[in-house]
């Protein structure tokens, strides 16, 4: 019995020493992990990688802390290849050297993996012409050329088609508040010949919020002169007059207050206007000559263009009107343009006028002494100052002619004879003459509204045509006109040169 046991033990020992018993090969069995190059990885591949002072890569068993391998810089494994190997080991796949590897955090690998997966399923998707290359050189050659017209496969949205212009009847013109949510440009006529063009420099410095303030001031009777979207002395004076007229304390920087006042006084500062056949027809003159003898040969000192006529009608600077309506044809009836919505004119009768030469402003008061209107003005000059003291309105003429008398007036050019210049808004005294009881002096319009308050006159009081016309409807003969401040005609011993004769 003892001999049998000893023999069996010897047989078992021999089998073990000779490797006759094999380790199980199921899925749960441990595998040896080898990195490319023959390095045996510890345990299940849980390792730490360090670099020593010489640049060697030191692979350490994370569980035991033992050094597994030391790789010199020139021979160490690529980190991406090692991570791929570890990933393949986790997935239970054999590390075949020439097999495709897919790195989960590499966009390029995942794109290739997805294409291969679709290919195996029979759903082949061709790779893009310009695959993402995170390691590219970003040079011009790395990007595909722009496709030509014949090989262009890209699709682009069609350009929006302009809406058809809805025109007013030929005998009707309208001014409607601009709709903030409505694209006015979509309703405008095509951009063709005769359209308004403006030098871009003319709109520099013009601001719509300033223009909105100017519209508000104009509505209250505190005229800023031309509405041009620019701050200046005329706006400052008009704002002070506005606060006196309304009893408010509005500031030019109070955007909320300005918008609220606009809403209460007539709505948006700008409106849409449809050009009528009468607007386009005129009549207009080709140009206004400088020489008075040539002016006298014209039938009328009319407007030279539709833009000039509309700018004056809507109290605007002509260049500003063009700048906010660039590309539009002012000469074609049916064109919709953007204009100032200045509201209603002042209607309170005026009992007293004060012409302040220092402030370059005219103030109009009612019978109770309340300020009802204020206008920027050009009042005389140092060489030809306006009169002083109190005078009265003697007569009022709309659309007057102008008599040039070199023996009384200044001498213009080589003209030494009396000339009668026909009426019209571009005449020397504009479209209005309010004569004073002092001969040759009066309040009148101007052919250059943008220069009001910024230039000098020949002794009279010069306003914009629309301000002079409004004032002419508020006054009557006998209304007093008091001149205050500044030099007087007595100081220089001169006379007025704004001679006028009613047609």
Report how far residue 437's alpha carbon sits from residue 443's, in angstroms, rounded to the nearest whole number. Answer: 12
Residue whose tokens read 């590309």: 327
User: How open is the CA angle 13-16-17, to the nearest 5 degrees?
Assistant: 85
Report how far residue 153's alpha carbon sits from residue 147's, in angstroms, rounded to the nearest whole number. Answer: 8
- Which residue out of 315, 391, 458, 460 is catalytically annotated? 460
Burial 460-495 (b: 16+ CB within 10 A, else e): bbbbbbbbbbbbbebbeeebbbebeebbbbeeeebb
Report how far residue 224's alpha carbon sits from residue 221's, in angstroms, rounded to the nearest whole number. Answer: 9
**What residues are paired with 395 via a beta bridge?**
435
- Which residue out of 315, 391, 444, 458 is catalytically annotated? 444
Residue 287: both structure tokens together:
């140009």
**What residues are paired with 176 via a beta bridge?**
272
SS3 363: strand
**What residues are paired with 403 via a beta bridge?**
420
DSSP result, 178-200: PPTTS-GGGGSPP--TTB----G
Q: Is 460 a catalytic residue?
A: yes
Of 243, 273, 236, 241, which Cα lies nearest the Cα of 261? 243
Residue 419's contacts (CB-CB under 8 Å, 6 or more residues apart) are 292, 293, 295, 296, 403, 404
Q: For residue 160, is it left (φ>0), alpha (ψ between -120 and 50) or beta?
A: beta
Sign of CA dihedral 270, 271, 272, 275: negative
Residue whose tokens read 């001969």: 439
Report how far residue 113's alpha carbon sits from residue 99's, in angstroms, rounded to the nearest whole number. Answer: 12
Report how far residue 259's alpha carbon sits from residue 267's, in angstroms, rounded to the nearest whole number. Answer: 9
Catalytically annotated residues: 444, 460
């Amino acid at each position: 019995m003892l001999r049998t046991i000893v023999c069996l033990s010897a047989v078992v020992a021999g089998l073990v020493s000779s490797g006759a018993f094999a380790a199980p090969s199921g899925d749960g069995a441990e595998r040896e992990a080898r990195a490319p190059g023959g390095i045996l990885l510890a345990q299940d591949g849980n390792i730490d990688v360090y670099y020593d002072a010489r640049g060697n890569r030191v692979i350490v068993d994370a569980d035991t802390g033992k050094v597994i391998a030391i790789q010199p810089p020139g021979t160490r494994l690529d980190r991406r290849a090692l991570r791929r190997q570890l990933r393949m080991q986790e997935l239970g796949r054999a590390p075949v050297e020439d097999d495709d590897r897919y790195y989960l955090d590499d966009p390029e690998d995942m794109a290739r993996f997805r294409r291969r997966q679709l290919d195996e399923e029979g759903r082949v998707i061709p790779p893009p012409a310009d695959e993402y290359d995170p390691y590219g050189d970003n040079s011009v050659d790395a990007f595909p050329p722009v496709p030509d017209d014949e090989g262009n496969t890209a699709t682009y949205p069609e350009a929006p088609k302009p809406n058809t212009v809805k025109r007013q009847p030929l005998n009707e013109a309208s001014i409607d508040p601009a709709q903030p949510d409505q694209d006015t440009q979509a309703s405008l006529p095509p951009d063709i010949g005769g359209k308004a063009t403006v030098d871009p420099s003319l709109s520099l410095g013009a601001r719509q919020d300033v223009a909105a303030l100017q519209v508000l001031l104009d509505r209250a009777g505190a005229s800023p002169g031309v509405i041009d979207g620019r701050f200046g002395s005329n706006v400052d004076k008009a704002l002070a007059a506005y606060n006196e007229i309304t009893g408010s304390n509005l500031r030019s920087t109070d955007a909320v207050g300005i918008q609220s006042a606009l809403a209460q006084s007539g709505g948006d500062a700008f409106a849409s206007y449809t050009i009528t056949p009468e607007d386009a027809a005129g009549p207009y003159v080709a140009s206004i000559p400088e020489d008075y003898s040539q002016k006298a040969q014209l039938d009328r000192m009319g407007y030279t263009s539709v833009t000039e006529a509309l700018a004056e009608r809507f109290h605007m600077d002509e260049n500003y009107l063009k700048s906010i309506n660039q590309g539009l044809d002012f000469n074609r009836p049916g064109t919709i343009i953007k204009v100032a919505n200045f509201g209603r004119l002042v209607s309170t009768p005026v009992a007293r006028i004060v012409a302040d030469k220092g402030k370059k402003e005219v103030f109009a008061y009612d019978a109770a002494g309340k300020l009802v209107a204020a206008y920027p003005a050009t009042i005389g000059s140092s060489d030809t100052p306006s009169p002083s003291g109190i005078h009265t309105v003697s007569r009022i003429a709309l659309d007057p002619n102008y008599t040039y008398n070199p023996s009384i007036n200044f001498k213009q050019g080589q003209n030494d004879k009396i000339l009668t210049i026909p009426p019209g808004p571009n005449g020397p005294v504009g479209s209005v003459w309010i004569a004073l009881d002092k001969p040759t002096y009066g309040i009148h319009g101007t052919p250059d509204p943008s220069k009001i308050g910024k230039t000098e006159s020949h002794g009279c009081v010069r306003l914009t045509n629309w301000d002079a016309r409004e004032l002419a409807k508020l006054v009557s003969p006998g209304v007093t006109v008091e001149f205050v401040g500044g030099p007087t005609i007595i100081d220089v011993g001169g006379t007025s040169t704004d001679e006028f004769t009613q047609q």
